[in-house]
Amino acid sequence: MDKIESTSSQVLNGAEQADSTTSLWTDFKALIKTGIINSNLLTAFGGFWLALYMTNEQFVDHIPTFIYMMIGSGLVIAGGCVINNYYDRDIDHIMQRTKKRPTVTGSIPLSVVLTMGISFTVLGVGFLFLTTWQAAAIGMFGWFAYVVLYTMWSKRRYTINTAIGSFSGAVPPLIGYAAIDGGLSTEAWIVFAIMFIWQTPHFLALAMKKAEDYKAANIPMLPSVYGFGITKRQIVVYTACLLPLPFYLTTLGTVFVVIASVLNVGWLAIGIAGFFMKDDLKWATWMFVYSLNYLMIFFIALVVFTTPAIF
């Protein structure tokens, strides 16, 4: 009987340890915001690929540079996200979508969180320096824009916080490009502009869905302060601003320009449809989901239609 109880105890202890490990891993992923990292690494890869295409370089000749760039970008982004969580711990407990973050629950000590944020940032910049100093400088600018300009300065003060934060989300393609060619081309800046403009409709749609959360936390997001009407107009204005930009990327081929233009027209059409829909939150969901698909299709198309020239 003692042996049976001992075996049962070992099984239970093992299950508890497994659950604890799984929970810690889940908390870690929430802390570094893996969704943000993945989407930004996609755009960084797109910028890297674009640079290879524009400079007539071969991917196989730059594999170490690619690895350094991806690791460095991921670490810098993770570092910024961790510090964002650390700084926002006093308001995250108020909002439904953030109240289970480890900085709120205490599952990861705050001293460890801060150390992780700083360490990831320093390591990330170090890896980027192994490519070019321009890539490292752009990476640091993106980190500064997200942590200082957005998180610490504008997020709790101004409704234009989304536009200010857009700088950080738009720099990964420049990091990827600069890892190959520090003299950024016009095409690199156009992709940056597209990503900068893309951020606002994407996040304003999310802010509409989470308007009550932001209001409770006293964060001045546009929908929470001025309502859905002006937010919808702002979203449509931003999506309309995307329309001419693909025509500055004709060096990537007609098919790519057509695909990018169709994405823009489709997004604008859904945006305009919002003025005729009664369910604003349903419309906001459509816009948010479309923005995610826009990002993925745009950069996959960029890679696909420049691949023959690289290999």
Write down the pLDDT at residue 242: 98
pLDDT at 99: 83
Query: Distance between CA 28 and CA 15 in Å, rounded?
Result: 20
The tens digit of pLDDT for each residue in 56-115 reads 999 999 999 999 999 999 999 999 999 999 999 999 888 888 888 888 888 899 999 999
Higher pLDDT, residue 1 or 33: 33
- What lies within 8 Å, CB to CB, of 141 at 6+ separation is 167, 171
C-alpha of 118 from chain center: 19
Which residues lie closer than 8 Å to 158 by C-beta, 6 or more apart?
A: 164, 220
Tokens of 145: 């824009």
How big is the chain by its Cα radius of gyration, in Å?
Answer: 22
If one counts every other C-beta atom within 10 angstroms of the C-beta of residue 239, the result is 26
Query: Which residue from 122, 33, 145, 124 is spatially nearest to 86, judged by alpha carbons?
Result: 33
Residue 59 — φ and ψ, nearest 5°? -60, -40
Percent of the chain with pLDDT over 70: 92
* pLDDT value, residue 311: 58
Q: Can you give the residue ranges of every domain in the chain?
A: 32-306
* DSSP letter, residue 311: -
pLDDT of residue 23: 84
The residue-averaged pLDDT of 248-264 equals: 97
CA dist list (Å): 266 to 46, 70, 162, 207: 22, 31, 23, 21
Domain 32-306 - what CATH class? mainly alpha
pLDDT of res. 225: 93
Query: Amino acid letter at 17?
Result: Q
pLDDT at 45 over 90: yes
Q: What is the mean pLDDT of the chain?
A: 92
